[in-house]
Chains A and B, each alone.
Chain A
Amino acid sequence: MKLLTVNFLTCAIKACKGSPAAFPLHFRDVELELQDVDFQPEFIRNIITRVDWEGLNKMANELNFPNIPEMKPEGEALENDQLLKDLHRFLLETQVAEGKLICGNCGHEYMIKEGIANFLLPSHLV
């Protein structure tokens, strides 16, 4: 699962809707892997406006990735090819293979196995 996807995920449980602690989900025992993805500068420019930068910084801290800019790059900064390549490597090519995602509000654990996250909920939590 791409780190970009994790930046968009929230807890699926009804009680966590709208709670600020439900985003971002926290990592535990994760194994990361690198997978080649075609570099598409246009896609990154399109998606970067929707990325939650605070959540991304928290995530980078948890995973010990050092070179994420403090502020969201905007305007002319997005013409910088090296920056886009770095973002591409971090958001799209770095993928979670195994591990758990944990909601900061209710503590529910979502298992990730072979890159597939299990978001099925028991019916009493829906």
Chain B
Amino acid sequence: MSRPEDILPPDLFYDDNESRKYTTSSRIRNIQADMTHRALELLDLKSPSLILDLGCGSGLSGEILSQESPEQGGPHTWIGMDISPSMLDIALQRGTEGDLFLADIGQGVPFRPGTFDAAISISAIQWLCNAETSDVSPEGRLRRFFEGLYASLRRGGRAVCQFYPKNDAQRTMISGAAIKAGFGAGILEDDPGTKNSKLYLVLTVGGGGLQGDITGVVDGMNDVDVLDARRKAMERNHGSTSRKGDKAWIMRKKEQMTKKGKVVKANSKYTGRKRRPAF
């Protein structure tokens, strides 16, 4: 399937026609609503808060923030940023409640430090992996975005960014940039392995009520398995005690060479055996 990210830059792709189609399609509206509710669940806000909506588009996610019921901690006040004037125009016509900014999130987040309780972004940050002119790079845009976001959130604040990475490289590039900016980061995947799989990058700023690491965010949620890549990496480092030159190392090398199709001496009881000290 073709990706809009590969066709045109976002401000040109979402022209009047495309923005109208996007906002009126009931399928897209449903998906966006589901994802926004999921993001709100992850943000776990207890009282009416100030939320930044990154790539707010026509305000589909924003209106859910303003409609959140008082029992759920809402309704929230939000501020939206988007790069497409046509999308913002539709948001204006629909009379959304949040304040709108025409801005490029890859240029940073122009708010005072500690402004927001939380940030949300639905299907937007994969656009940062595209650089449209030669004087900017995807890495630079991601860095400025996450550094700006980190600064604008208050201590203990959280951000949830749902995104569609093109491949694993983009996924690691985005999460790597977030970690470099100082966030505690984790990725939540809904319906993994299916066509409907959705990725949420969950970011935390330290100093809040969250105890322990990022996995604490999903504590008490049903149907969430925690896969800790760090633990696996630790085990791998611990497990491999083979040093260069010992028997296990030699056997591994011989296997590698056989796989490459090289001629390798057959294994015997003498393979990799210690030589006797010469006098």
Contacts and interface: CB of A to CB of B under 8 A. Distances in A.
Interface string B46-69: 011110000000000000000000
A40 interface: yes
Interface in A1-45: 1-2, 4-5, 8-12, 14, 23, 37-38, 40, 42-43
A118 interface: yes
B110 A11 contact: yes
Contacts, number: 83
Contact of A5 (B92, B97, B99, B103): B99
Contact of A52 (B97, B112, B135): B112
Counting contact residues on chain B (CB < 8 A from A), the size range is 20 to 34
A10 B75 CA distance: 26
B107 A12 contact: yes
Given A12-B107, A37-B97, A42 B102 contact: no
A42 B79 CA distance: 18
A29 to B, nearest CB: 19
Contact of A9 (B48, B92, B107, B111): B111
Interface string B82-96: 010000100010000
Contacts of B112: 8-10, 23, 52
B50 A47 contact: yes
B39 interface: no
A40 B48 contact: yes
Interface stretch (A56-64, A65-73, A76-84, A109-117): A109-117
Contacts of A119: 81, 101-103, 107, 110
Interface residues on A, range: 20 to 34
B99 A120 contact: no
A10 B110 contact: yes
Contact of A8 (B92, B115, B133): B115
12 contacts: A1-B100, A5-B79, A12-B107, A14-B108, A37-B97, A114-B92, A116-B92, A116-B102, A119-B101, A120-B103, A123-B136, A126-B107
Interface of A: 1-2, 4-5, 8-12, 14, 23, 37-38, 40, 42-43, 46-47, 50, 52, 92, 114-121, 123, 126
